[in-house]
C-alpha cells in the first residue's frame, strides 16, 4: 500500500514538473536587429539578457517605441535555435 502511494506521488510530481507555461512577463528595451531586408523587432530582456523576436509588432504599434523600455506580457511561440535565431514571442499585453 505504501509503495502505491509513494509511486502515485512520484508520478504526480513528475507530471507537474514537466508542464511548462508559455506565458512570459518581460521588461526591456525594444530594438531592431538584423541587416538590410532581414530586420526584425526584438525586446532585450533586462533580467535574462536574452533577445526575443516579436511576431505581432503591428498589433500594438511597437515599431514607434524603439529604444524605449517597455513591460509586456507575451506567449512563447518558438524556442531559440541558436545565435541569430532568437526565441519568437507573441505580445498579449503592453503594460
Q: Select the more confidently predicted residue: 67 or 84.
A: 67
- For 78, the grid coordinates are 518558438
Residue 89 lies inside a defined structural domain of this protein = yes
Q: Which pLDDT value is given to residue 6?
A: 65
State how many domains the chain has. 1
Is beta strand 87-94 parallel, antiparallel or unpaired with respect to 38-45?
Answer: unpaired
pTM: 0.75
CATH of the domain at 89: 2.40.50
pLDDT of 15 higher than 60: no
Q: Which domain holds residue 90?
A: 22-94
Output b/e per residue, 64-93; b: 16+ Cβ within 10 A: eeeeeebebebebeeeeeeeeebbbbebee
pLDDT of 1 higher than 80: no
Amino acid at each position: 500500500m505504501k509503495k502505491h502511494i509513494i509511486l502515485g506521488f512520484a508520478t504526480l510530481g513528475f507530471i507537474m514538473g514537466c508542464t511548462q507555461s508559455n506565458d512570459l512577463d518581460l521588461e526591456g528595451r525594444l530594438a531592431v536587429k538584423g541587416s538590410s531586408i532581414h530586420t526584425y523587432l526584438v525586446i532585450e530582456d533586462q533580467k535574462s539578457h536574452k533577445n526575443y523576436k516579436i511576431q505581432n509588432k503591428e498589433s500594438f504599434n511597437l515599431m514607434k517605441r524603439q529604444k524605449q523600455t517597455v513591460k509586456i506580457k507575451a506567449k512563447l511561440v518558438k524556442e531559440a535555435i541558436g545565435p541569430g535565431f532568437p526565441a519568437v514571442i507573441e505580445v498579449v499585453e503592453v503594460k
